[in-house]
Structure 1
Amino acid sequence: MLFPGQSEPSLLHKCSSSYPIGIFDSGVGGLTVLRELRKQLPHESVVYFADTARLPYGSKSPTEIIEFVYQILTWMRSQQVKMVIMACNTSSALALDILRPHFDFPVLGLILPGARAAVKHGKHIGVIATEATVKSNAYAQAMQETQPNAKIWQIACPEFVPLIEGDRLADPYTIQVASNYLEPLIQDQIDTLVFGCTHYPHLKGLLSQVLPYPVNFINPAAYVVKAAVKELEILGLRHTNLELAVNNTFTRFYVSGDPQQFAKISSRWLNKMPSVEQVNLSHVELLS
């Protein structure tokens, strides 16, 4: 079934290797994916979109998430991207399989790459994620398909995203919240912890202090970018003209909310104050 105003997608996305890669999230969480992309694909340009006007995604209904993602992917298409990475676990869990077939560029999600990495590193696996991602059971299902004997515990951590977006990493309250969330996983003696939300790697240092023993931290961002590298190479869309790429590599930042707020918070991880443009998605037709 095609969505309103959408034509049948072509079998082969007609684009150039010089086109940018799209990354989107509800906020600054997707910067963890951007960071990995800069490590593994340093010669690619990026269009980064943060849906800050509607965060957090984790407390939204599946229908709302699908509508939001449809709007964002439609806007990304207007930016002539050659690929989109859903740098949002909630979107990956609820919208990826539904919307991916209806766009003529590759759309990658975090769940499967992260799940496969987790079962390679541990047998007692904890997943911390948003309420929506936990309710979807997407991580547990993906892990059990790969490793049926894996023991998996999932914890919803709804306060983490607002605390990170509020730039409260050093707040004692954040440490207390983290301790409360991790206590059941500590009791279950997990050996591996999956960041089931792209915001959560920003808390890695804090979580390492809360955990009483070392665990394997799995950041799905690293593994979805590995998948992106392979996909681009298969499609012949990886930027191979390195001299041209170095001269033209850049990241354009867009938000649906306050550009200044996003610039201020993201500068902590970008080591600079980015230029950020506001985008109004209200003109994009919703699914209904």
Structure 2
Amino acid sequence: MDNWYEGTQGLDPTGSIGVFDSGVGGLTVLRALQAQLPRESFLYLADTARLPYGTRSRSEILQYVREILTWMQHRGIKMAVMACNTSSALALEQVRHEFSFPILGLIEPAAQAAVTIGKRIGIIATPATVKSGTYVRVLQECSPHVAIAQVACPEFVPLIESNCLSGERVRRSVRQALAPLIEFGLDTLVYGCTHYPHLRHIIADYLPSSVHHLDPATTVAHSTAHALKALSLQTVAHQGHVHFYVSGAPEQFARLASQWLGYYPRTQHLPLSVLSQSYSVEITLPTVPAVVAS
């Protein structure tokens, strides 16, 4: 078992699973988790005040993730799922060493599944995820002979968060993004941002019907179930629940989320000031030995 599972003794199986994203993209992961784990409870945070994550620097993402995980730790979560590929690409490896509960990301489970499906893997993702090269590295570790092409789609998240899910503007953006992947001859498309499956109805129109669509939400849900069982952290509750928190405008998030959740979620506002106070970095300067003149 991977060493990131170590040091998880003492966690409460009745605790919630923390799930976070910059906005409504993570709802694709939440729905997959609920389908796989209907008895588990979830704490969902949409950091809409700072979206999109996909154009942020690594240092910014790392700071945001540390703040969120620290806040969730104070809420007593037993596990966290990064429902954000950008966070998984830029911060996962670092924060796994900093917190005492398991933290799962999207990229490794998706890559492991992708190489069992196809040989020419196309990835659509945010600029930050593409620039990190994490998907390429992990896919090559899973299968050195797989061919990979990736495309950054900076327009997708703003379109989705503004509820622009149809029309010529979004179709033009999708056409432009997929053109190099079609030329590449992909046989499998990985949705490298949790927002992007919200555009699958349009994306499918521009790809050959033979192309497999891989949503990492499904694969990380299976990984989460496996981790809970391996660590004896499965709940004994009969039915789970979800608490929603939003760093931006709760009503705007709830209206947008309702079309995918099938209900109007009760959301609570979590100010950025609370998040930023949750995590503080203490810097200890090394002691410089005194120099004694001879």
- TM-score range (shorter-chain normalised) is over 0.9
Which string of whole-angstrom CA distances, capped at 9 and with x for unpartnered residues, describes residues 175-204 of structure 1? 110001000111111000000000011111
CA RMSD of aligned residues (A): 1.3
1:67–1:286 Cα contact (<8 Å) kept: no
Which residues in structure 2 correspond to 1:142-153 (within 5 Å)?
142-153=138-149
The alpha-carbon deviation at position 284 of structure 1 amounts to 2.5
TM-score when scaled to structure 1? 0.92
Does residue 1:121 correspond to 2:121, yes or no? no
1:25–1:88 Cα contact (<8 Å) kept: yes
Unmatched runs of 5 consecutive residues or more in structure 1:
1-9
1:283 is aligned with what amino acid?
A: Q
2:264 is aligned with what amino acid?
A: M
Q: Quick one: distance in 2 between partners of 1:82 and 1:138? A: 26
* Structure 1 counterpart of 2:183, from 187, 199, 210: 187
User: Which moved further from structure 2: 204-213 or 23-32?
Assistant: 204-213
Unmatched runs of 5 consecutive residues or more in structure 2:
1-5, 284-294
1:258–1:278 Cα contact (<8 Å) kept: yes
Q: Percent identity?
A: 49
1:172 is aligned with what amino acid?
A: E
1:267–1:273 Cα contact (<8 Å) kept: yes
TM-score when scaled to structure 2? 0.91
Which residues in structure 2 correspond to 1:170-249 (within 5 Å)?
170-239=166-235, 241=236, 244-246=237-239, 249=240
2:162 is aligned with what amino acid?
A: G
Greater CA radius of gyration, 1 or 2? 2
Partner of 2:90: 94
The alpha-carbon deviation at position 65 of structure 1 amounts to 0.3
2:8–2:102 Cα contact (<8 Å) kept: no
Does residue 1:56 correspond to 2:52, yes or no? yes
Partner of 1:282: 276
1:22–1:85 Cα contact (<8 Å) kept: yes
Partner of 1:270: 261
The alpha-carbon deviation at position 286 of structure 1 amounts to 4.8
In the alignment of these two chains, the number of paired residues is 274
Q: Quick one: distance in 2 between partners of 1:285 and 1:125? A: 38
Partner of 1:260: 251
Structure 1 runs of 4+ with >3 Å offset: 285-288
